[in-house]
Every structure is written in C-alpha cells, then in structure tokens.
Structure 1
Amino acid sequence: MVWVTWRQHRVQLLTTVALFLALVVYMSVLGADAAALLGWLPVVPVLVGMFWGAPVLAREFEQGTHRLAWTQSVPRSRWVTAKLVLLGTVVTLLGLALGQAVTVWTSNVGADRFGDSALFGATGVVAGAWWLFAFLLGTATGGVIRRVLPALAVTLALFLVVLFGVFDARAGYAEPVRVVSDTPVAAGTLPTGAAWVSRSGEEVVDPPECAGVDRTTYLDCVGKAGYTEVQYFQPADRYWRFQWTETGILLLAAVLLTGPVVYRVMKRPV
C-alpha cells in the first residue's frame, strides 16, 4: 500500500514540497516584505483538500478502478485505512513544517502571530491541523459525490465556510480581559471588542449623548459626557492555549466528517 500510495500521489507530494521550499526561500529573501503574500496562507489548506483529499475516493469511483482495487488480496478496509493514514500523516507533517517556517519568519521580522488571523492559523500546531482537516474534508466530499470535479468545487465551498466561521469564533475561545482605559492595548494581543462606560458604571456601545455627532468631534463629545473607553482583548500569553483549542476543534470536525463517509464506503457493495 505504501508503494501504491506513492505511485498514485507522488505528483501532489513533489509539487507541494517544491512550493513549500519556494515559499521558504521567498520569506528568507524578502523578510518583512513577504507579509502581503503570507496573508493568503489561510486558504492554502483548501488546495490540499482539493488536490490531495478529493481524488482519493472520487477518482476511484469515477474511473471504476475501485472494483479492481477492492477485490484484490488487500481488503477494502485496509486499503482505505492505509490511504488515509499515510496521506493524512504526510499532509499533517507538511502543514507543521510550514507552521514552523512561518513561526520563525514572524520571530525574525517581529510580526504579530496572535492578533493577525492569517498568521495565527499558519503558525504553530494549528497549521498542521488545518492541513489535515482540509485533506479529510476533501476525502469525505469525494466519497459522497464520487466525481472529481464536483468534489473539488464542493470542497472549496465548504472549506471557506468553515474558515470564516472559525475566524469569527476564534476570539471567543476564552473569556476576554476587560480593561477600562483610553490607552491602546499592548501589541500582540487579540482585540475582541470595545465600548464606553459612564461615570455611573453603565456600559454602552454608543453614548446616547453623542448620537449623530460628527466623527471628528465624537471623542471630545464622549469625553465631556464623562465616558471612558472599555477595551476587551485576549492577551498574547494565550497564544498556545488558543492554538490547542483550535487544533482540537478541527480534529474533532475532521473525524465527524470523515468517519461516516469511510464507514459507508467500506460497507457499500462493490
């Protein structure tokens, strides 16, 4: 199975490794100027889902080769398990390698890897989790649709829904810290919201005394009305806590997505 998996997926592996090395060179040469390109890193895992995961089952069904592959000496369960374990391990290691490379880059250029949503998902352990999740999402989609091109499109759509959903939910992984101060929060934190608090302690999003006031004089208005700014944020020392939280969410989602599909594939008549 190792040899068969290598023969069928060597193009994806070699292409991914080549692109990874090119990105490492790009970051090394440009330094801080590489930030514009690295902002697109959150969508990189979807390519793994589309071109690694989706064809695993969809191509076999579409071309009818599953009838031959699953009637040989290797049982269907072993065929599916070996494919998912081998390829899943490879994509996870590649994702972790990318996460380590980007982490080193952020340290060298002083980039914010916690407050920046794009860099958070492309650093640390969660980078490997995103790659594995995308791969298993593509595999599950291919197993249900059983056609490669439709599976690619559906994988892309589902991944983007999950990606933006996680972006919205990330700030809520823990109760934010509340600070009553006009001083900006320290660099490297993850801001989650802001409001105003009156002298009596009432917290409002928009002081009613300054409703409709021109933005150029808005701060003067709230100051004269006796309001102080309230800031909510996640401190930088929660970076690894959030990394492991998001990793657990992605792994659980991957299992819930893939488990029923793999079970159906192994029980389905050839």
Structure 2
Amino acid sequence: MSTMTNTGSTGNTGSASSGSAPDSARTGAGRGRGLRLSGVNWLVWRQHRAAYWTILAAAAITLAVIVYERQQMMTYLEGYGYPHLKDGWEDKFDRRMFDVVSQVLGVVPILIGVFLGAPLLAGDLESGTAKLVNAQSTSRVRWLATKLGVTVLVVTVCTAALSAAFTWWWSPIKSSSYISFWTDASVFDGTGPVPTALTLLTVVGGVAIGMLVRRTLMAMVVTLGFAVVVQVVWSHFRLSLGDVLVKTSHNGVGDGTFPALPDSAVNLDQSYLTASGDLIGYGSCNEATEKAAAACLDKAHVVGWSVDYLPISQMSAMQWFGASILLALTAAISAFVILWGRKRLV
C-alpha cells in the first residue's frame, strides 16, 4: 500500500512538475519584459505612488501647456518677421500664460518640499511603519537611501523636463525686457538647473525636518517655513553669483552721455565719476534747481559716469554656480539623514 501511495505521489509530483514547467517559463518570460521593481524599491514606490504619480501627471500637463503656448507664440512672432522682430511686436503680445506658468514653476519647490519631502519619513515614524521596516532584514541605510533615491529621481526628472521646456519657450524672446528681465525670479529661477536644484534642496530639507520632528503635520509646517526662507535667501544673493562689470564714460553727465550697455544687460548701480577717478553717489547732487545741480557737479569735478552691470552672457554661468551651491547643500543634508537615521531613526 505504501508503495502504491508513494508511486501515486511521485506520479502526481511529476505530473505537477511537468505541468507547471511551461507556466514557470511563461512567468519568467513575463518578468523579463519591461522594467519591474522589486524589494525595497517596489515598497517605496508603492507606499508613495500617489504622490509620485501626481507629480509626474502635473509635470506632463504643464509640459503640454508649454508646448502649445510656445507654438502659439512662434506663430505670432513669425508674423512680425522673427528672428528679426519688427518694432511694436510687444504691443499685442499676450504674456498672461507665460506669467502664470512662471509663477507655477516658482512655487513648485515649496509645494513638493511640503507635500512630498516632509511626510516622507515623518509619516512612517508617526504611524510606526519605520519600526516595522526596522524589524525586517533590510538595513536602515538601504531603506533611507532608497527613499531618498526614488524621490530624488522622480523630482529630478520632472523639474529638469519643465526647466528645459520653459527655457525653450523663453529663448526666442529672452532679449526683450518687456516680457521679463533675465535676472527676475520668473526667468532666472525657472530655467537652466536652478528649478531642479531649488526643489531638491527643499525636498531633502523637508525629509530631514520630518525625521527630526517625527510628526507629519508639524513637519509640513516647518518645511513650509524652511522653503520660504530658502527662496528669500536665494533671491537676495542671486545677483551676487555674477561677475559685475563696470563701464565708464568721460564726456560729462548731460543728455546722451550715459554709457551704452550691451543688449539685455542689467544696470545694477550707477555713480558719478570724478576727474580723480573717485565715485560719488548718483543722488549726491540732487539739488532743487538745474543750475544748483550743475554747480554741485562742477565743484565735485564730475567728468562722467560709472555703471555696474551684468550682461546676459553670464546667465548660464551664474545659474550653474548657484545650482552647484544648492546641490552641495542638498548632498550635505542627505548625508546627515543617512548618518542620523542609521542609529537614531527608531
């Protein structure tokens, strides 16, 4: 009896093995197709997939708007002889969507930092998920690195794509001050590497804040303040990233004597230049009458102007220099998150 039973079991096992072999092959072939996440990568993506997909979808919609508006703009500009635009093209130019999109890009670092960065670890610490993960075989370092890595990847892809598209939109009209000066936040912070660098700093800063605060709502509030401070400090030091150039004149300060600056250059400061080479403030001879002002200038031996300016040719270098500083801060905060979380996370 035992022989029959064993034989039957063996037969069934053999039959099951032979029957499941094609299924296994099909399953293996199915897994070989496309990109499939597994392990901690899958866990992190599934846990935050709503936020990730929201960011990706919003980026896709914004990209579509930019592409459409750029086509509309080029049709308009071609009617005025682009690339050699005729005078008066600004009169009927509709800049409303450009302003709206630039404002949206301006708040992207704050929104993503608050709604993605802050809850990333604070939510797990508050709900106890971090303790559950800590009890598994996966190390804290790998879990933290994966959390940061997947988030940084999604943010980088979306912001880089938006920045490239917005730069493409702005490029045909960048020489016109009617739309915006290139040093304005709406352009400088929305093109090149700056949007990505600013967003990564606020996101990773929010992650660190959430790790320390350990409460989601409080982390979001503190991250909001952190993001606003970053924006204020960045706007204050933005123009300091460039190499200020000086242009002088020695033909007096009357009409038509002001130095001609390069196209799209930004005038940072202007002073009177004296015969001895000294500078006096522009308002130093702001007298009540024209005669009194002329006497003041003669007394100071003013011979011309001295103008501090930044040319648009420095824009890219300024953006990359500033972005490198922001990315260095981001890397430092990321290292802090890993080192602190390795021993004190739970």
- Determine the structure 2 residue equivalent to 1:265: 341
Structure 1 gaps of 5+ residues are none
Residues 1-270 of structure 1 mapped to structure 2, 5 A cutoff: 1-27=40-66, 28-29=68-69, 31=73, 32-40=95-103, 41-110=105-174, 114-180=182-248, 182-183=258-259, 185-211=261-287, 213=288, 225=298, 226=302, 228-268=304-344, 270=346
Which moved further from structure 2: 191-200 or 118-127? 191-200
AA partner of residue 56 (structure 2): V
- Determine the structure 1 residue equivalent to 2:91: none
Using the aligned pairs only, state the percent identity.
27
Shift in CA distance, 224/113, structure 1 to aligned 2, threshold 3 Å: closer
- Give the TM-score taking structure 1 as reference length: 0.87
AA partner of residue 78 (structure 1): R
- Give the TM-score taking structure 2 as reference length: 0.69
AA partner of residue 47 (structure 1): L
Equivalent pairs counted in the alignment come to 266
For CA contacts below 8 A with separation 6 or more, give which structure has more relative contact order. Answer: 1
1:63-99 CA-partner distances (Å, limit 9, x unpaired): 1111101111211111001111111122112111111
Structure 2 gaps of 5+ residues are 1-39, 74-94, 250-257
Which moved further from structure 2: 54-63 or 35-44? 35-44
Shift in CA distance, 35/222, structure 1 to aligned 2, threshold 3 Å: farther
Shift in CA distance, 153/189, structure 1 to aligned 2, threshold 3 Å: farther
Report the Cα distance in structure 2 between the residues aligned to 1:222 and 1:248, rounded to whole angstroms: 50
1:226-268 CA-partner distances (Å, limit 9, x unpaired): 4633221222221221121111110111123332233112101
Q: Which has more radius of gyration?
A: 2
How far does residue 24 in structure 1 lie from its aligned partner after superposition? 2.7
Report the Cα distance in structure 1 between the residues aligned to 2:328 and 2:220, rounded to whole angstroms: 22
Q: Contact 1:189 / 1:235 at 8 angstroms: preserved in 2?
A: yes
Report the Cα distance in structure 2 between the residues aligned to 1:45 and 1:269, rounded to whole angstroms: 26
AA partner of residue 132 (structure 2): L
AA partner of residue 62 (structure 1): E
Q: Contact 1:106 / 1:113 at 8 angstroms: preserved in 2?
A: no
- SS of the equivalent of 2:285 reads helix
Q: Contact 1:210 / 1:221 at 8 angstroms: preserved in 2?
A: no
Which moved further from structure 2: 36-45 or 51-60? 36-45
Report the Cα distance in structure 2 between the residues aligned to 1:98 and 1:269, rounded to whole angstroms: 34
AA partner of residue 101 (structure 1): A
How far does residue 44 in structure 1 lie from its aligned partner after superposition? 1.3
Q: Contact 1:196 / 1:207 at 8 angstroms: preserved in 2?
A: no
